[in-house]
Amino acid sequence: MKSPYKIAIIDYQMSNMFSIKNALNALGFESEITSSRSKILSCDGAILPGVGSFPEAMKHIKSLNLDESINGFINTGKPFMGICLGYQLLFEKSEEVENTYGLGIMSGEVKKIPKKNKETKVPHVGWNNVKRNTLLNGVQNIGPLKAFNDDDYFYFVHSYYVHPGNDNDIYM
């Protein structure tokens, strides 16, 4: 990896960009918060952060022509990460607030977590462990969760989940 590895934090004017920038800087990465297509494309990696509602985020992305920049960057094959709402925006649509089309980079949709009984709390807020399989379609897991155990805990704050259209898009 060249030094410093430069990461674009995509600014669509409604996310937690500065905390991501601080985290990347603490890890030794050079990062830039930007809405500029040329700056995004010139980076070695990109992050689409997210806080807020799906419909509002898509309005901002479209008004800034970031949909084209995001698609262009992903087509380069360089590393790209969507965080929280930023990940959800990569899918075809969401039922949050109203049916809204997303970026359509991945097949599937964002759905509301169903309230199965009176004990189920939505939004889901709290610490939970994530169960993962070691094999996906008979192949050893090499995904980002391989370093974690089933007894490791993660903090969640969400009311929606992604239902992918393709099982190969799921790390287990």
Query: How much is the pLDDT for 128?
Result: 81
In Å, what is the CA distance from 10 to each residue of 19, 47, 57, 76, 106?
13, 6, 12, 16, 18
Residue 119's pLDDT band (cuts 50, 70, 90): confident
CA distance 30 to 47: 13
pLDDT tens readout for residues 7-58: 999 999 987 889 999 999 999 999 999 999 999 999 999 999 988 899 999 9
| Dist CA 72 CA 92 (whole Å) | 17
CATH class of 6-167: alpha beta
Give the per-residue pLDDT at 95: 95
Within the chain, residue ranges assigned H as helices are 17-26, 37-42, 54-63, 66-75, 85-88
Question: Taking the domains of the chain in order of start, what are their residue ranges?
Answer: 6-167
In degrees rounded to 5, what are phi and psi of residue 24? -65, -45
Q: What is the pTM assigned to this prediction?
A: 0.82
